Homo-oligomer: A and B are copies of this chain.
Amino acid sequence: MPRDVRMRGFAERADVEEVEAFLRQNTKPLPSEIVPLLESVGRVLAEDVVAEVDVPGFPRSAMDGYAIRGEESFGASDYDPISFELVGTALPGNPHIGSVEVGQAVRIMTGAPLPDGADAVIMAEVCQEDSKASRVQVSEAVAPRKNVGAIGEDIRQGERVLLAGRRLRPQDVGLLSSIGHAEVNCVRRPRVALVITGDELLPAGARPSGAKIVDSNSVVMRGLIDRDGAAALPFQILPDVTDRIAEAMSNDEADVILVSGGSSVGQEDHAPRLLGQLGSLDFHGISMRPSSPTGVGRVGETFVFLLPGNPVSCLAAYEFFAGPTIRRLGGRSGAWPHRVAAFPLARKIASAIGRTDYVRVALEEGHAVPLATSGASILSSTVRAIGAVIVPREQEGVAEGEPVEVLLYDEDRSE
């Protein structure tokens, strides 16, 4: 569904939801790759994991105490303790060699394998050891199987312990370690190419000078790409030269290409035309503020996002369209990744019906204060803001005092 674009302004603008639905329908997780166990936290499992071993693989003591045959302790009490012959010690990793016979006990530590013959552990607190005489007095009865962790108590061999699609938590990877995995089959991380164009741009790290400004979009994008679990490919700032931009848009190493700058309909805005020629320009011009000149298309299997050069528009277009796509390619959720909090609105937000607005808000005295919505080039507004409020297309703004849900920019809760 490519759209006609006149040289002066967009013929027709797509709704945000239409573009979102298109992206959702055309995105599926990338193929898998083998990841070393210790690098797999936060990655997405590509296949179910079935345990090939029991954990524990042996009955183990859940206490420091003495391993005995439980029924031999029946009737023991403070007044009438029962005496056992102490025949050895079982430590974690150093089992007692030999079995526990009638009338015998083995000193045992938490986590140590229960010796053959024994079926219970009586806790040290109710025992009196006479190590010189190699004997221990037991003054409480313990039932068979008491204080013993059974084979497979934590994980049973054959159990499906983790399902495909799971984003691995630290403890999931700990569990994979405990069942003997050295590697994990994960959804491949999306590779994202940045195509930053503009004769006015100096690379990050330079000082702005004369008519030159320093690129900030690539810096912001790289932070967001990293947050979204993808890898940014190396890149250069390109001059506004058609051949160079076309070549960069045909990068078949990339799963996603983000083109910043040159996405509008002005004299130097080559990107939309080139994308239409190289592949498809599925959308160009979206009913939203900021970011309305955003373009979305594909070259082969690669998604291409034309992000406006203005920093706030670039950020918002990434968050609405590129971010969810990148996360879904990596097997993650396309939902907004931010924490959310509700605050009453300090002043009304005006918005046109039919248009989706991304409004930065500051926090003052417990109220969300909308920051000037003009000035898409004003990056400092996203720095002053605590987050953003989305005003959906069917809504004509939000009245003063109404509670609004804020997508919080900060990852931490304050203390």
A interface, CB within 8 angstroms of B: 8-9, 37-38, 41-42, 53, 55-58, 62, 64, 91-95, 109-113, 124-125, 149, 153-155, 161-162, 167, 169-182, 198-201, 204-217, 219-224, 226-227, 240, 264, 266-268, 309, 311, 315, 327, 332-337, 339, 375, 377-380, 382-383, 409-415
- Chain B residue contacts of A414, Cβ below 8 A: 333, 335
- Chain B residue contacts of A212, Cβ below 8 A: 93
Contact of A111 among B200, B205, B335 (CB under 8 A): B200
Contact B380 A219 (CB under 8 A): no
Q: A57-B209, A113-B211, A380-B154 are in contact. Are A177 and B216 (CB under 8 A)?
A: yes
Contact B333 A213 (CB under 8 A): no
Q: A171-B379, A378-B153, A380-B161 are in contact. Are A91 and B199 (CB under 8 A)?
A: yes
Q: How far is the CB of A200 from chain B (nearest CB, A)?
A: 3
Contact B171 A412 (CB under 8 A): no
- Chain B residue contacts of A155, Cβ below 8 A: 380
| Contacts A/B (CB < 8 Å), 13 sampled | A8-B124, A42-B411, A53-B207, A91-B268, A124-B266, A154-B375, A170-B224, A173-B219, A174-B311, A179-B208, A180-B206, A335-B412, A337-B412
For the complex formed by this chain, how many copies does it contain in all? Answer: 2
Distance of A410 Cα from B184 Cα, bound (Å): 19
Q: How far is the CB of A409 from chain B (nearest CB, A)?
A: 5
Distance of A155 Cα from B227 Cα, bound (Å): 26
**A94 to chain B: closest residue by CB:** B199
Contact B268 A222 (CB under 8 A): no
Contact of A379 among B93, B149, B175, B200 (CB under 8 A): B175
Distance of A9 Cα from B65 Cα, bound (Å): 13
Additional 15 contacts, C-beta under 8 A, given A112-B211, A169-B409, A174-B220: A55-B208, A57-B209, A91-B200, A91-B268, A92-B211, A93-B198, A161-B380, A169-B410, A170-B219, A171-B220, A172-B383, A175-B379, A182-B205, A182-B206, A337-B411
Contact A62 B170 (CB under 8 A): no
Distance of A311 Cα from B223 Cα, bound (Å): 33
Contact B378 A226 (CB under 8 A): no
Q: How far is the CB of A242 from chain B (nearest CB, A)?
A: 15
Per CB-CB distance, the 10 closest pairs between chain A and chain B, nearest first, are: A170-B223, A93-B200, A93-B199, A92-B200, A174-B216, A182-B205, A174-B220, A180-B207, A41-B223, A171-B382
Distance of A62 Cα from B374 Cα, bound (Å): 11
Contact B209 A170 (CB under 8 A): no
Distance of A155 Cα from B335 Cα, bound (Å): 32
Contact A175 B41 (CB under 8 A): no
Contact A216 B175 (CB under 8 A): yes
- Chain B residue contacts of A226, Cβ below 8 A: 41
- Chain B residue contacts of A216, Cβ below 8 A: 174-175, 177-178
Contact B377 A167 (CB under 8 A): no
Contact B9 A125 (CB under 8 A): yes
- Chain B residue contacts of A181, Cβ below 8 A: 205
Contact A170 B264 (CB under 8 A): no
Distance of A311 Cα from B56 Cα, bound (Å): 13
